[in-house]
Amino acid sequence: MQFEDYRKELLTVLFAQKRLIVAVTVFIFTCSVLIAFFWPPTYASYGTVLVKIKRQFKNPEALEKAEVRYSPVTPEDLSSEVEILTSHDVIEMTIDSLKKRNLYRHEGGGFLNISLLLDKILPDKQSNTKQFNREVYTIKKKLQTKAVELSNAVEASFHHMDPSYAVTFLDALLNEYIKYRMKIYYPDEAEIYFTKGTGGFGEEIDKKRKDWIDIIEKNKISDPSEELKNNLMIKKELETQLNTIRNSAIEKKMQIEYLETALKKEGIQFFSFIDKASIANLSTSLQDIFMEYGNVLRVYTQSSDKASPVEKQMRDTLNVLRSEIRIYKDGLASELETLNKQIAAMKNEISNIVNWNVELQKQNITTQKIQFEMDLLKQSYDTFSKRKEESVQGSTSPASMHISILSKAFLSNGPVFPKKRVVIPLGFIIGLLIGCSLAFVKEYFDHTFKKISDAEKMGLRVIFSIPDFTEKEKPAPK
């Protein structure tokens, strides 16, 4: 019974808002029909390229019988190919190529120059670079690429309202992509470099040998590695001595600072912590006088004749002790200065050793580099002269050996948008769904009383209700 009530309420809402549902459905359906019949059609061109091998590995410095190895194509390589295909440079090269070619297409009994069409669509790069880049980005958004599963193929499509332009542009794009791709993997600069190097190995070997001799004569050291070992041992000993002197200097500095602080304090200080005979004797005498002065004060007052001489003697002894402390402090300062000079001298010596070690290491690295280059040049002398045309990996092989167009650009079977069989039914379904949704939203926000339960939910009493006699009575269930 509850299910029947729920179904009845649902049908009641739909019946009450039937005008809204029908209006929204008709409006959206009409829009879809207009789009299907009057929207400018967009066509797509499709093409596929096949990546055969990524690149060949043939070291021009290897022996003549070295085997050529090819690296297999991975999914990551196909993703890289997709990025190259849709790159800004490839699109720009395609535009330049189409503008330079006098291509025509048949239209309305005549022929239309595609190069002139491109001039109208795309601004000149030199005059308006910003607008040109914006249009290139728009073309890039119309390009769709994907790597075909379980294969080494990459499928590309291009959408445009002009079907001839779509096919022409994609075909030119695939050709420019192959050129650009080969240029990336096998640049011309590498070929120029290796070609120039084929005839100069003998001169390079003599030059490297002369450089080695010059380094030995300049530094007067034939084995820099042994010299480095000796310098490191001396440096280690100097650093040990330097740490000892630094600790002593720190100790002297702390003593001086403590003595300066003690001298600034007022009152009697015995400085008994200083291990020096003259200061120790004065400190002992000052302590005896201080004890005697204390004993006198137990019997006499501080201003009495008995206490005054003892106090004067105590202060004189304290002044003498302070003078000795100052002399002692000056001596410590002199020792600290000497230690600092020693530290500076050792630092300078260690720095000189470090600098010299750096120079020795440079010489060692330079000689090792020269030795390595000489060995490499000797091994490469014969093979470079025999394979002058193979100096760049894969430069002599044709592009079709690495990548080829599996399917040239072809036009889609009719426009890809709008498709009447898809747009019209979809417009009707979407219109119906949106109309029903708006009907339920409107009914939800309509708070008028429609049935007895609505009044009871508000806490109102229902005296009576008048049934709708126009509604046909349903037959009683058997």
For 379-416, give the DSSP string: HHHHHHHH-STTSSTTTTS-GGGTEEEEEEEEE-SS-S
For residue 49, the one-letter residue type is V
- Residue 10, pLDDT above cutoff 70: yes
- How high is the pLDDT of residue 243? 92
> Average per-residue pLDDT in the chain?
76
For the segment 297-354, what is each residue's pLDDT rounded down to a tens digit?
Answer: 888 777 778 788 888 888 888 888 888 888 888 888 888 899 899 999 988 998 998 8
Residue 144 phi, psi dihedral angles, 5° rounding: -125, 130
Q: Note the pLDDT of residue 55.
A: 55
Q: Is residue 60's pLDDT more than 50? A: no
* pLDDT value of position 2: 42
Does the pLDDT value for residue 439 go beyond 60? Answer: yes
- 462-478: burial string, b at 16+ Cβ within 10 Å, e else: eeeeeeeeeeeeeeeee
Residue 103 clears pLDDT 80, i.e. is over it: no
Q: Quick one: 287 exposed, middle or buried, by C-beta within 10 A (0-12, 13-18, 19+)?
A: middle
**One-letter amino acid for residue 286 of the chain:** L
Taking residues 408-428, report their average pLDDT.
Answer: 83
Instruction: Examine the pLDDT at 68 and tell me if it is beyond 70.
Output: no
Is residue 70 helix, strand or coil? strand
Residue 5 pLDDT = 60
Q: Which residues contact 344 (CB under 8 A, 6 or more apart)?
A: none
What phi and psi values does residue 168 have, to the nearest 5 degrees? -65, -45
Whether residue 110 has pLDDT greater than 50:
no
214/237: higher pLDDT = 237
Q: What is the maximum alpha-carbon separation in the chain?
A: 144
Q: Under 8 Å CB-to-CB from 404, ≥6 apart: which residues? A: 49, 50, 52, 178
Quote the percentage of the chain above a pLDDT of 90.
3
Q: Cα(241)–Cα(60) distance, rounded to whole angstroms?
A: 56
pLDDT in tens, 236-270: 998 899 899 999 889 888 888 888 887 777 777 77
Beta bridge partners of 157: 46, 144
Residue of higher predicted confidence among 317 and 192: 317
- With bands split at pLDDT 50, 70 and 90, how would you rate the model's confidence at 109? very low
What element of type H or E holds 471?
none
The listed range with the strongest mean pLDDT (16-25, 261-270, 427-436) is 427-436
Q: Which residue has the tokens 């728009």?
A: 138
Q: Is the pLDDT of residue 463 over 60?
A: yes
Q: What percent of the chain has pLDDT over 70?
A: 74
Mean predicted confidence (pLDDT) in 195-218: 74
410: nearest Cα among 123, 168, 223, 62: 168
Q: Quote the pLDDT of residue 189.
A: 66
Q: Which pLDDT belongs to residue 348?
A: 92
What is the model's pLDDT at position 412? Answer: 79
Reply yes or no on whether the pLDDT at 415 is more than 70. yes
The predicted structure's pLDDT at residue 447: 62
Judge whether residue 478 has pLDDT over 50. Answer: no
Q: Reply yes or no on whether the pLDDT at 107 is more than 50.
A: no
- Distance separating alpha carbons of residues 381 and 373, to the nearest angstrom: 12
The stretch 205-213 carries a mean pLDDT of: 78
- In this predicted structure, the answer to whether residue 413 has a pLDDT above a threshold of 60 is yes
